[in-house]
Amino acid sequence: MLVLQVQAESQFPVCAIPSLASINKVTDQPAKDAVYLEADTGLIKRSGVSSLVGNVIIQQNDLIINAAKASFDGTDNRVIAKGNVALSNKNIQLNSDSINYQTNAQSGELKNVRYQLKNSSINGRSRHVIQKNAQTLELNDATYSSCPPSVNSWHLAAGNIKLDQHKQIGSAKNVTLKIGNTPVFYFPWLSFSLNNQRKSGFLTPSIGVTEQSGTAISTPYYFNLSPNYDATVTPSYLSKRGLKIDTEFRYLSKYHQGIWEYEILPRDRASNNKQRDYFKINHSSKISDSVRFNIKTEGVSDKNYFDDFRKSLSDTSTSALERRVEVVKVGRNWRLSAASIDYQTLDSTDSSYSKLPEIKFNYAPKILPKQINISMDTELSNFDKSDGPTGVRLDVNIKASKKFGTDAWYFKPSVGLRHTYYNLKNNPTGNEQNRTLPTLSLDAGLFFDRTLGDGKLTQTLEPRLFYTYTPFRDQNDIPVFDTAKTDFSTSTQLFSTNRYTGKDRIGDSNQLTVAVTSRLQNRKTGKELLQFSVGQIFHFTDRKVTLPGESIQTNAQSELAFELSGKVNDNVRLSTSSFWDPKTQKWTATETRINYKDNKNRIANVAYRSLNDELKQASASFAYPINKELSIIGRVDHDLKNNRNLETLAGIEYQNCCIKTRLVGRKYLTSDNSTYDDAIFLQFELKGLGNLGHKANTVLEDKIYGYE
């Protein structure tokens, strides 16, 4: 038994509903249950059999029969007709050679039929049709397709097909799926939806090939358990490993929603027959209008799981998996959360602290204009780890600010006070630590604008000064639980009061940021066409606060930060950010992207990224329609520093109004940073039937910007 579930229609041209032979009727407003007869010639009897010849029309309610010749028995309302017979009701139209039909029950038999569901592209042919009632058809030696006959990209050829329009479900026996006229799959029994509704059954099989696992053949089964929850179980045979089973359970109700996933390979032949598995839970419960309970957790049986079973460089680069359970309560101006956070570390060089528990309280009342803005952020965390210092950290940060100004200028002074308390174990510099530090910032800016050209454009000039001061406090005795230095070249620190993330370090600062931004806008719509910014930090003192292994910073000026973004024209968008070190007279970091997409869906993307001498990468991707039906697609990510490709993708795509086929090959560097894995994906999207093969479209959407 095989059941196909219809999936949502893809985003490609929709097939026009095949044109039907015109139906002639006697009246537009028939009386209920009355039978109307019309013909060129004939003998009509009130009781008994009426004979009709030439342009015959028989009409009852929404049922209309046209024929060249017909007889009508008034005792049981039976029609026997031959020659260019057409039958139409509110659901379907059938054209045939002959018909034996009872109009009251809308049941009967037709031979050599072409059928078309109304308000649908579904159509086909049948040697013999039995209509049991107005809603149910049984077709013998038949075809079924959502493609117009002139296209014939795919169709089902079956010994028997049943269409139930009341349940909107079709079923078929002895089915052959044909692409064009070429047989592709055989199904002993098959079920499908007539209107994209969900139903239980086997989804279409998928086939893929990877170097790690060999040929993979999957046959997913979908359980439509309820309108608000369902499940999918996917047994897969991997030629190099054995049987793998993937499960997914989804639910959505008034108070609960989530997705549970579990994958298991009971005996992996490529890993000494070990059991290997993966789980992921994403759950949210609404306890009340203001309280939420959330679970977000995942884990694997071993650190090599993603290398062996995932299909992209980003997946195989995962270094840790988070496990979080939390309760959140939200008030009018505040938010309270309590969480337990743990990590499964996949990279042995990167061991993370657990937070058992983490309690946060945030208070930020809404303010009216010209009032003082006050906020408070509080966090209490217990850090645990198998080695190194552990213990409790309490952090309280209070801020106050007020903004003055008009549409042409603003001035915003802010002051903050942060107190952090540590109660530690195994800390070589002392188990009890305290730190209290204030931070002052002054933010000011001006806004100028002028009209350019013929008055259609506006250019702005927006100078800005940002001063921040935090006194020095020696913090070397404080352990580092969750803190890192934010790299200036990857996340601009021009307007930040702390150069560190986390709460274990508060950077001392006495600095002034000078920046200016200019925008080019459409005066009528206000839409931004181009933006350019430049800025630099001037330090008045050395930065003495450091992380372990970090040296004191003595430079008086930061790098110059440049940003440029905007639309070159209707098809091209440019964005770039660069950092220039005036001391070394070198560009320290650059990231540039150029994206092209036109109304013919031609796509081209180019990107370049460099970071000091550590990283130099370039990427290019494209999608190019050769004609209305055929496209080629590709992407390459290249490591310029080591002269090697990180990931390569290439494919070809064919589409028309009712079929879409993709063949995609990929080669990517695995997490060991030396070996590559290869994968091939093949996918058919059949409008009105579903997908065959791996979901290659998700791979392309992730890798090719602008691809849909």
Q: Exposed e or buried b for every residue in 249-276, given b needs 16+ CB within 10 A?
A: bebeeeeebbebbebebeebebbeeeeb
DSSP H stretches of helix in 606-684: none
On average, the pLDDT of the chain sits at: 87
The arithmetic mean of pLDDT across residues 573-586, rounded, is 91
Predicted confidence at residue 6, as pLDDT, reads 33
* pLDDT value of residue 316: 56
- Percent of the chain exceeding pLDDT 70 equals 92
Contact criterion met (CB below 8 Å) for 32 and 61: yes
Element (H, E) at 296: strand 291-300
- Asked if the model's pLDDT at residue 565 lies above 50, the reply is yes
> Residue 702: enclosing H or E segment and its boundaries?
helix 696-703
pLDDT of residue 306: 85
Q: Is 106 helix (H, G, I), strand (E, B) or coil?
A: coil
- How high is the pLDDT of residue 281? 96
Quickly state the pLDDT bin for 668 (edges 50, 70, 90): confident
- Confidence band (pLDDT; 50, 70, 90) for 134? confident
pLDDT at 176 over 60: yes
Task: State how far the Cα of 81 lies from the Cα of 53, in Å rounded to an integer.
Answer: 10
Average pLDDT over every residue of 277-289 = 95
Cα radius of gyration (the chain): 35
Q: What is the pLDDT of residue 656?
A: 81
Look up tokens 């054995």; give the residue: 242
251 contacts: CB under 8 Å, gap ≥ 6: 228, 229, 257, 258
Name the residue ranges covered by the structural domains of the chain: 35-202, 231-360
pLDDT at 174 (0 to 100)? 92
Mean pLDDT, residues 94-108:
91
Q: How confident is the model at residue 5 (pLDDT cuts 50, 70, 90)?
A: very low
Checking if the pLDDT of 419 tops 70, the result is yes
Task: Give the separation between CA 248 and CA 590, rounded to whole angstroms.
Answer: 42
Share of the chain above pLDDT 90, in %: 56
Catalogue the E-assigned strands of 103-181: 107-117, 123-131, 136-144, 154-164, 169-179
Per-residue pLDDT, 194: 73
pLDDT of residue 481: 93
382-396, 481-495, 597-611, 633-647: segment of lowest average pLDDT: 481-495
218 vs 237: CA distance, rounded Å: 7
For residue 575, is pLDDT > 60?
yes
The CA distance from 152 to 124, in Å, is 10
Top pLDDT among 649 and 674 is at: 649
Express each pLDDT in 485-521 by its tens digit: 887 765 578 999 999 999 999 999 999 999 999 999 9
Confidence of residue 196 (pLDDT cuts 50, 70, 90): low
CA–CA separation, 17 and 116 (whole Å): 9
Give the pLDDT confidence score for residue 1 in this predicted structure. 28
Q: What is the pLDDT of residues 608-647, one digit of tens each?
A: 999 887 889 999 999 999 988 899 999 999 999 899 998 8
For residue 428, which phi and psi values (nearest 5 degrees)? -65, -20
Which DSSP symbol is given to 39? -
Segment 338-374, tens digit of pLDDT:
999 999 888 766 678 999 999 999 999 987 777 899 9
Residue 18's pLDDT band (cuts 50, 70, 90) = low
Q: Which string of DSSP letters, residue by residue, matches 428-454? A: TT-SEEEEEEEEEEEEEEE-EEEEETT
Structure tokens at 364: 């930020």
Q: Which one is predicted more confidently, 307 or 593?
A: 593
Of 19-33, 405-419, 613-627, the one with minimum mean pLDDT is 19-33
Cα angle: 406, vertex 407, 409; to 5 degrees:
65
For the residues 86-99, what does the mean pLDDT come to? Answer: 90
Separation of first and last alpha carbons in the chain: 34
* pLDDT score of 10: 37
Smallest Cα–Cα separation from 660: which of 12, 3, 5, 1? 12
Do 170 and 146 form a contact (C-beta atoms < 8 A)?
A: no
Domain 35-202 grouped into CATH 3.40.630.30: no
Instruction: For residues 131-151, give the mean pLDDT.
Output: 86
Per-residue pLDDT, 12: 45
Q: Which pTM was predicted?
A: 0.77
Q: Say whether pLDDT at 582 is over 80.
A: yes
Is pLDDT of 377 > 60? yes
DSSP E strand boundaries for 26-104 = 35-38, 41-43, 49-60, 63-73, 78-88, 92-102
Judged by average pLDDT, the poorest of 24-28, 488-492, 627-631, 653-657 is 488-492
Query: DSSP string spanning 467-519?
Result: EEEE-----TTS--SS-EEPPTTTS--TT-S-SEESSS----EEEEEEEEEEE
Q: For residue 208, what pLDDT band results from cuts at 50, 70 and 90?
A: confident
**Where is mean pLDDT largest: 169-178, 435-444, 597-606?**
435-444
CB 500 within 8 A of CB 507: yes
Check if the beta carbon of residue 336 is closer than 8 Å to that of residue 361.
yes
* φ, ψ at 305 (rounded to 5°): -60, -45
* HEC readout, 525-584: CCCEEEEEEEEEEEECCCECCCCCCCCCECCCECCEEEEEEEECCCCEEEEEEEEEECCC
